[in-house]
Amino acid sequence: MVNSSVLKTTLSGDGSRTLYCDSVSEHYHSTKDGAFSEALYKHVLPAWQYRISGRPAVTVLDICFGLGYNTLVLIWYLRQQGYQGKLQVFSPEQDLVLLKSLVDFPYPDELLALVPIIQELAKNLFYQDARLKIEIVGFEARSWLAGFAGPIDIVFHDPFSPANNPELWTREYFAELKRIGAADLLVTTYSTATAVRMGLFENGFHIYENRPEALVRSATLASLTLLPLDEIDMVLKKQRNPTATSLRDI
């Protein structure tokens, strides 16, 4: 993972704020789609529709915690839906300086009621109440995953890009996700790169385009079981472009 150096607050397209990380020359979220909207449409809504709704309990792996939008928007949305089940979240995040700074981050109004959760996570890397348990893992994700047994129902896969976090986008990494995943594991990610989709496909995932009308950019859904969507024909893609390949561990 990448530790932050100089972080600059940026207003994103939906009015929510994100950060720009100088050390990797990347924002934490799409500035066009917006931090809140990206979390909601690329991760939370498909997770609710295809995995959470109707289940009494669900376990999510949030890679990586960053500013916490994916986890916080998930909690916010489940409360909006009146969800009475139990939610457990594991989230690797090496940048504990960033985590501690989130107690002062200007979150959108929808998330202000959840600031006490952020305060507890910043202090103890852990939060628990009657229906919610969150654990921040202060280690490099690959190292932690090697000793983690699972099972995980949903992965919010949201690290920095392959150019800056290559170890979190390889075929071998996605094999680790499959190992710790439930039989119907769902992976959500902002990346639409062919190499990323190939890495998931080569591990037995069905690949789908996530194209929310509210957003500028599309995203990817990958599921170990079929979804009621038009599946991307990755075999045909490979036939049309024989050089298309997944990223690999060096």
Domain locations in the chain? 34-240
Q: Provide the CATH topology of domain 34-240.
A: Rossmann fold (3.40.50)
DSSP 143: H
pLDDT single digits (tens) 52-64? 999 999 999 999 9
What token pair was written down for 166? 């290559």
- pLDDT tens digits, one per residue of 150-161: 999 999 999 999
CB 145 within 8 A of CB 180: yes
Sorted by sequence, the CB contacts under 8 Å of residue 178 that are 6+ apart come out as 185, 203, 204, 205, 224
Residue recorded with tokens 């960053």: 66
Whether pLDDT at 194 is above 70: yes
Q: Using a pLDDT cut of 90, give the percent of the chain over it.
A: 87
Q: What is the pLDDT of residue 20?
A: 87
H/E stretch holding 222: strand 219-223
The average pLDDT across 7-11 equals 88
Q: Is the dihedral of CA 210, 24, 147, 78 positive or negative?
A: negative
Structure tokens at 1: 């993972």
Query: Could you tell me how many residues make up the chain?
Result: 250
Mean per-residue pLDDT over the chain, rounded: 94
**43 vs 25, higher pLDDT:** 43
Confidence of residue 6 (pLDDT cuts 50, 70, 90): low
Sequential DSSP letters for 23-43: TTTEESS-TTT-HHHHIIIII
60 vs 216, more confident: 60
Asked if residue 2 has pLDDT above 70, the reply is: no
Q: For 70-171, where are the E strands, in sequence order? A: 86-92, 126-128, 132-137, 152-157
The predicted model gives 123-146 an average pLDDT of 96
Distance between terminal CA atoms of the chain?
Answer: 16
Confidence of residue 168 (pLDDT cuts 50, 70, 90): very high
Per-residue confidence (pLDDT) for residue 156, from 0 to 100:
99
Report the DSSP pairing between strands 7-11 and 57-63. unpaired
Q: What is the CA radius of gyration of the chain?
A: 17
3-state secondary structure at position 140: coil
The 10s digit of each residue's pLDDT in 13-41 is: 899 999 988 877 787 877 889 999 999 99
Q: From its phi and psi, is residue 167 left (phi > 0), alpha (psi between -120 and 50) or beta?
A: alpha
What pLDDT is recorded for position 5? Answer: 53
Helical residues (DSSP H) of 82-168, grouped into ranges: 96-101, 115-124, 141-146
For residue 232, what is the DSSP state?
P
pLDDT for residue 1: 46
State the pTM of this model. Answer: 0.94
